[in-house]
Amino acid sequence: MRRSSDVSRTEKRQLAVASATLGPWRTATAVGAVGGAVALALDTLGGDFGLGVLAGSLSFALMLFFLVGGVGSVLGKGGDRSNRRIRDWAAEHPWQVASVPAALLFAGDVVMRRILTGETFFASLWDGLWRGALVAAVVGVTGSFSRSRRP
């Protein structure tokens, strides 16, 4: 197996995406759906409803989806030989793996907010940016901490 320093930038991006795909995305979907539904129900019970409330609930659902999937991708174990190699690489590079769900959340959140709300472009950009940074921080710290705890 090649050393990390022998891997090109393109290969590192491909490995980060491959690592992220090994996350528990079905579980992440369920958690995101439940979290988004609860957020929407709480906002509706509070007397608010509109596209802004829907966008906020969808944004929360997306954030939960990418948090669970991203954390699972850096913590996952097992699989066949090729999956184990990818997981080993992910364990050594948790911040690169964390950039994948963070970037996807950022893009999805900005697009969703631009479509559903009357927010300005910069307000949508800011909302997506801090949510993406939060996902990157949680996934990266979790992966770094788990790596330091492995034998």
pLDDT band at 99 (very low <50, low <70, confident <90, very high): very high
Q: How far apart are CA 97 and CA 14, in angstroms?
A: 10
Please identify which residue in the block is written with the tokens 């369920």.
Answer: 30
Cα 148 to chain center, whole Å? 21
Q: How far apart are CA 39 and CA 54, in angstroms?
A: 9
**pTM across the whole model:** 0.86
Q: How far apart are CA 19 and CA 15, in angstroms?
A: 6
Maximum alpha-carbon separation in the chain = 58
Average pLDDT of the segment spanning 4-9: 70
Average pLDDT, the chain: 86
Long-range contacts of 116-123 (CB under 8 A, 24+ apart): 116/51, 116/52, 116/54, 116/55, 116/58, 117/51, 117/52, 117/55, 118/52
Distances (CA, A) of 35 to 41, 51, 52: 10, 18, 17
Q: Is the pLDDT of residue 21 over 90?
A: no
The DSSP code for 6 is G
Q: Is the pLDDT of residue 103 over 80?
A: yes
| Closest among 132, 140, 126 to 106, alpha carbons compared | 132
pLDDT tens column, 30-77: 999 999 999 999 988 877 778 888 999 999 999 999 999 999 888 877
Q: Is the pLDDT of residue 1 over 70?
A: no
- Domain locations in the chain as residue ranges: 8-146
- What is the per-residue pLDDT for 118? 85
